[in-house]
Amino acid sequence: MLELRGVVKRYLGIPVVNDVSFVARAGEVTGYLGPNGSGKSTTLKMITGLIEPSEGEILYQGIPIEHDLIAHKMRLGYVPEEPHLYQHLTGEEFLEMTGELRGLARKPLAMKIAGLLRAFSLYGDRFVPISSYSKGMRQKILLAAALLHNPEIILLDEPFSGLDVGSALVLRSLIQELANRGKVILFSTHELDVVERVCSRVVILHKGRVVASDSIQRLRTLMALPTLEEIFAQLAVEINPAAITGEIVQCMEL
């Protein structure tokens, strides 16, 4: 079980994540939702140990992650929203480097790499530099790298970005299967239809604060709204889409 207790992150004294508390359980898919700038990516970076909270605790299996950050990172698979890939490496070389840094033995690593490259339809491009990869191909190599060491905790920040329909369907199925196998899965996305299909529960963030944390079905019942999109709009959207649409069309027709 992954747990956040009163987590705060400040930059120049301004809280971008403010008193965030929630639990992500093994065997469940937890959707972490919110408008752009609400603190989702910052939260995920704190869970990885890349940045430290200003206040609060992050625990795994009841133990604060800072007690052994190296061990925590070894059981973590992370796909960031804005990846920094080694462009000069081929896809195969990138996975080899990742596996070696994870301490995987050479022979099983080679088998894992070949299998994942085939599964993600990248085997034919395994000797091609990542600089020549499309956005979707880069996203798939990141997913392969995150799963290479069979992590216990999987953090996905906008994982469907750049994927074609077929790859998105594979990822959706994969997320569900990994949860069925007891993984802790926390993912942030704007694809609310995917969230409704795969998530056991959702945490909705607005201006750095949690405004809802429950199962989708319970939120529907409590708020008397039929869809997650309507729930999200009521809790975390402050704009009037129809009014803004009118303004845009009016400007076009000047």
85-102 residue pLDDT tens: 899 999 999 999 999 999
94 & 183 share domain? no
C-alpha pair distances (Å), 215 with each of 61, 67, 83: 21, 31, 30
Specify if 134 maps to a domain. Answer: yes
pTM: 0.91
Q: In the prediction, which pLDDT does 117 show?
A: 96
Q: In the prediction, which pLDDT does 163 show?
A: 92
Specify if 81 maps to a domain. Answer: no
9 & 68 share domain? yes
Rounded Cα gap, residues 43 and 15, in angstroms: 12
Q: In the prediction, which pLDDT does 219 show?
A: 84
239 & 162 share domain? yes
Which range among 51-65, 90-104, 140-154, 199-213 shows the weakest confidence by mean pLDDT? Answer: 199-213
* Number of domains present in the structure of the chain: 2
164 & 210 share domain? yes
Q: In the prediction, which pLDDT does 234 show?
A: 80
64 & 91 share domain? no
Q: What domain range includes position 213?
A: 2-75+151-252
pLDDT in tens, 217-251: 888 887 787 788 888 878 877 778 888 888 888 88
Residue 224's CATH number: 3.40.50.300
49 & 120 share domain? no
Q: In the prediction, which pLDDT does 248 show?
A: 85
- The burial class, CB within 10 Å (0-12 / 13-18 / 19+), for 32 is buried
pLDDT in tens, 41-75: 999 999 999 999 999 999 999 999 999 999 999 99
Rounded Cα gap, residues 187 and 77, in angstroms: 11
196 & 136 share domain? no
Q: In the prediction, which pLDDT does 32 show?
A: 94
Specify if 187 maps to a domain. Answer: yes
Q: In the prediction, which pLDDT does 225 show?
A: 78
